[in-house]
Amino acid sequence: MNFVFGRTIRKSGGRILCSKWLWNGEAFVKRSPKIVSSVRCSFCEIYRPNLQYIRNKYTKNKHSQSAEEASDSDADSDDVEDFDEGIPDRNAKILTIKVNSLRTDLMVKAGLSVARNKVENLFYESRIRVNGKKILKKSARLHVGDEVDVIRGLSPMNPEFLVVSRIEILSVRPGEENVAVKVRRFKSLTIENYSEPWRQSVDSGP
């Protein structure tokens, strides 16, 4: 390999004037007009400062990039948390309600702010569904993960869809006097009709 380096450096007090040949890591240099000696000086040793600078520069950029990615991840991480906690729609709202038990009628009353007598009417009109199914008792007990729909009617845009108010039970924290229930509430949500379809003429009467 024939490399000519015009860089001047100092090594052990002697001046290396020129490195003309590089053979297996051996650089033959001229220390004085009458003395020619062989000094081991590899390419990496000569250019170590530049390599170190490049490595540090890359490391710095890598750390900076990692910090930016961590920041984005935190940002991405906050967005994924809000979504998981229950804000998939602007019409949804997370709230905590307190009830004496997890009865369906009590949850509808507290979660959707419906009067008790109105809840009874909704039940008898088969407008209350739990996980898409009809309930036989308005006192049916709910559990974490259950979805309770109150059917408002057919969608004016598509009769194959329904407009409902929905609460989803996210968590339950029993207390001494009552139960604190964290729910996701949709006051108005358009959904596809159930596998057991709701029909206004039959289920809700005139």
Give the pLDDT confidence of 55-73 residue by residue, as tens digits: 444 344 444 444 444 433 3
Is pLDDT at 171 greater than 60 in this prediction?
yes
pLDDT at 119: 94
Q: What are residue 84's phi and psi, to 5 degrees?
A: -65, -35
pLDDT at 51: 41
> What residue segments make up the domains of the chain, in order of their start?
9-46, 92-203
Distant-in-sequence, close-in-space partners of 197: CB < 8 Å, separation ≥ 6: none
pLDDT at 59: 42
Reported residue count of the chain is 206
pLDDT digit string, tens, across residues 70-100: 433 333 323 322 333 334 457 799 999 999 9
Which helix (H) or strand (E) segment holds residue 167: the answer is strand 161-174
Q: Average pLDDT, stretch 30-53? A: 43
pLDDT at 176: 86
Q: How far apart are CA 22 and CA 5, in angstroms?
A: 10
Distant-in-sequence, close-in-space partners of 4: CB < 8 Å, separation ≥ 6: 18, 19, 20
Least confident span in 20-24, 82-86, 188-192: 82-86
Q: Average pLDDT, stretch 16-35? A: 45
Distant-in-sequence, close-in-space partners of 28: CB < 8 Å, separation ≥ 6: 19, 20, 21, 36, 38
CATH hierarchy code of domain 92-203: 3.10.290
The pLDDT confidence band at residue 140, using thresholds 50, 70 and 90, is: very high
Work out the percent of the chain whose per-residue pLDDT is above 70.
53
3-state secondary structure of 5: strand
The pLDDT confidence band at residue 201, using thresholds 50, 70 and 90, is: low
The pLDDT confidence band at residue 204, using thresholds 50, 70 and 90, is: low
